[in-house]
Amino acid sequence: MALARAREQDLLSTEIVNRGIEAGSLNFSVRVRRRLPDFLNSVNLKYVKLGYAYLLSHSFYFLSAPILILIFSVALGKVTWEDFCPKCDPIDALFLLGVLALIIYIYLDLTPTSTFLVDFACFRPPDHLKISKEEFIQLARKSGKFDQTAIEFQQRALKNSGIGDETYMPRSVFQPGFKTNLKDGREEAAMVIFGAVDDLLATTKVRTKDIRILVVNCGILNTTPSLSAMVINHYKLRHNINSFNLGGMGCAAGIVAIDLARDLLNAYPGSYALVVSTEVVSYTWYSGIDQDMLLPNFFFRMGAAAMLLSSRRLDRWRSKYELKQLVRTHKGMDNRSFKSIHLKEDKEGRQGLSVSKEVIEVAGHALKANITTLGPLVLPVSEQVQFFTNLLFKKKTKPYIPDYKLAFEHVCIYAASKKGLDELQKNLELTDEYMDASRKTLQRFGNTSSSSIWYELAYLEANGKIKRGDRIWQIAFGSGFKCNSVVWKALKTVGKPKRSPWI
């Protein structure tokens, strides 16, 4: 084991040196650490095994179906009209019908209910909260909170961020005497959350008393009562609702919330689940000068998304998507990953979210583990055969890079920054068309944290790109460090929605 680790470290060091030399930089070691690792050329076997383990566990239902169908067919083959005729023995006919009903009941009980995404909604803040990059710098300078070095740092970062001039921010954070407080945080949370949920309820026509499960996620703002309790109070949800509030889980918490809602829907079949994902910008604002804590200031923007999930079989006809796969990867056992994004206080006691310079490299390693597990679940058989064969004989052949474009028609990558999207596009070998939704969302709405991937899906819908049978891959990263993936299948061709943040 120690020898294997040593070899792995040697390979990593060689890779870093070679990349640095190719880049032509004398200080290559520092620059390379901020880039994604070439994760498609190095595969960890344990994640491949994990992916196939998931595949085999789900295959039980696919293997049992033909057997039950065979039994059912044999039973039906022996049935004649006389079996149901009153002149014949009614006891035998009733017994046969009872056996068939029992088989159907057992099969339906053993087979997990599909999780449907009935619809979703993304909140678009009012126009008076729009802020351009130039205005951001002007207001930041007038606030008196930042020195010239901090202003210039934010100006350079904004220029290369990929963020446009029509994103939304609470202007109160730029006031000279502003301090992070619960009042502003609650008001912002209420505006974005209620705005998204109102649009969702108006579109789906679902009664609030029919919602049995509620999951709300917000990374930084965690109040008492919780944000989920705030939603229950506002919409007067049922008294026995299963309510959960997820905090401190970062931008990947939206997929965690979907996973939790799916498990609860399996536990309570025939139910509706409301999932709300957001981040409160005014509560993440940092008024100091530490550069690692200034990054969230100009990346995070206001936004929220609300999703209605269902486990009702009859909801298939009116739902937009069906959940096909969900894979979560957590790298918290590694100290560097654990500390890459964390909430802390600077020397002056001012609270802020610190983002390490190594976060892109850390994200790359997490993504490598995630897609290696996801691959066996989604890749075509031809790709899996080539990949698995190459894995067995990797000492003799060049590493085979699976083509994930064959598994999905659309990809929604968490829109954190232009640099991050560039690195992901390069390593996943995605075309500009696959990256369009992520880049347009970053430009128009900025980094809206866990709701970002839903603004991207809304962009695809608004442009008429979702066709029946299309597979959509959503990828999100978060503190901890986490990388989560969820795959949806379109149940119908989605027309231009009446309510959309893009319309």
The answer to the question of residue 61 being in a domain is no
What is the predicted pLDDT for the residue at 404? 82
Average pLDDT estimate for 232-253: 95
Average pLDDT estimate for 216-232: 95
Question: What is the domain count for the chain?
Answer: 1
Chain centroid to CA 462: how far? Answer: 20
Kindly state the tokens that stand for 174: 């730029």
Average pLDDT estimate for 14-22: 36
Measured between alpha carbons, how far is 367 from 385 in angstroms, rounded to an integer?
22
Average pLDDT estimate for 122-147: 94
Share of the chain above pLDDT 90, in %: 55
Going by C-beta distance under 8 Å and a sequence separation of 6 or more, which residues neighbour residue 407?
A: 378, 379, 380, 383, 471, 473
The answer to the question of residue 102 being in a domain is no
Kindly state the tokens that stand for 109: 């009980």
User: In terms of Cα–Cα distance, which of 158, 362, 330 is closest to 253?
Assistant: 330
| 260 or 31: which leads in pLDDT | 260
The CATH number assigned to the domain holding 153 equals 3.40.47.10
Write out the residue range of the structural domain in which residue 370 sits.
Answer: 116-490
Cβ atoms < 10 Å from Cβ of 266: 13
AA letter at 470: D
Which residues carry out catalysis?
A: 251, 330, 410, 447
Angle (deg, nearest 10), helices 452-462 and 432-445: 110
| Block residue for tokens 């689940």 | 273
Share of the chain above pLDDT 70, in %: 76
What is the predicted pLDDT for the residue at 386? 75
pLDDT band per the 50, 70, 90 thresholds, residue 369: confident
Measured between alpha carbons, how far is 447 from 415 in angstroms, rounded to an integer?
6
| Block residue for tokens 């996801």 | 374
- DSSP single-letter state for residue 239: T
The answer to the question of residue 49 being in a domain is no
Q: Which of 52-56, 88-92, 116-120, 139-143 is most confident?
A: 116-120
- Radius of gyration of the chain measured on its C-alpha atoms: 26
Kindly state the tokens that stand for 312: 């009702």
AA letter at 413: I
| 49 or 262: which leads in pLDDT | 262
Lowest mean pLDDT, pick from 59-68, 204-213, 222-231: 59-68
The answer to the question of residue 136 being in a domain is yes
pLDDT band per the 50, 70, 90 thresholds, residue 375: confident
What are 389-413's pLDDT values in tens digits? 766 666 555 555 677 888 899 999 9
The answer to the question of residue 53 being in a domain is no
What is the predicted pLDDT for the residue at 42? 54
Kindly state the tokens that stand for 235: 């919409």
Lowest mean pLDDT, pick from 16-30, 33-47, 225-239, 318-332: 16-30
Measured between alpha carbons, how far is 451 from 163 in angstroms, rounded to an integer?
16
The answer to the question of residue 51 being in a domain is no
Kindly state the tokens that stand for 325: 């796969």
Measured between alpha carbons, how far is 104 from 97 in angstroms, rounded to an integer?
11
What are 104-115's pLDDT values in tens digits? 666 555 556 789
What are 303-353's pLDDT values in tens digits? 999 999 999 988 999 999 999 999 999 999 999 999 999 999 988 888 999
The answer to the question of residue 324 being in a domain is yes
| 89 or 339: which leads in pLDDT | 339
The answer to the question of residue 433 being in a domain is yes
